[in-house]
Amino acid sequence: GQNIDQPTEMTATEGAIVQINCTYQTSGFNGLFWYQQHAGEAPTFLSYNVLDGLEEKGRFSSFLSRSKGYSYLLLKELQMKDSASYLCAVRDRTGGFKTIFGAGTRLFVKA
Partner 1 sequence: DTEVTQTPKHLVMGMTNKKSLKCEQHMGHRAMYWYKQKAKKPPELMFVYSYEKLSINESVPSRFSPECPNSSLLNLHLHALQPEDSALYLCASSQEGRAAQETQYFGPGTRLLVL
Query: Which residues are near partner 1 by CB under 8 A?
Result: 30-31, 33, 40-45, 48, 50, 87, 91, 95-104, 106
Count CB atoms within 10 A of the CB of residue 101: 14
Residue with Cβ nearer partner 1 (15 or 28): 28
- Edge-first strand order for the sheet with 3-5 is 3-5, 18-25, 70-75, 60-65, 53-57
CB closer to partner 1 out of 68 and 93: 93
**Minimum gap (Å) between residue 7 Cβ and partner 1:** 14
Of 31, 47, 27, the residue nearest 87 (C-alpha): 47
Decide: 69 and 32 in contact? Cβ < 8 Å. no
Q: Which is nearer to partner 1, 17 or 38 (CB)?
A: 38
Min CB(42)–partner 1 separation in Å: 4
Shortest Cβ distance from residue 89 to partner 1 (Å)? 8
CB 15 → partner 1: shortest distance, Å?
27
- Rounded to 5 degrees, φ, ψ at 2 are -120, 145
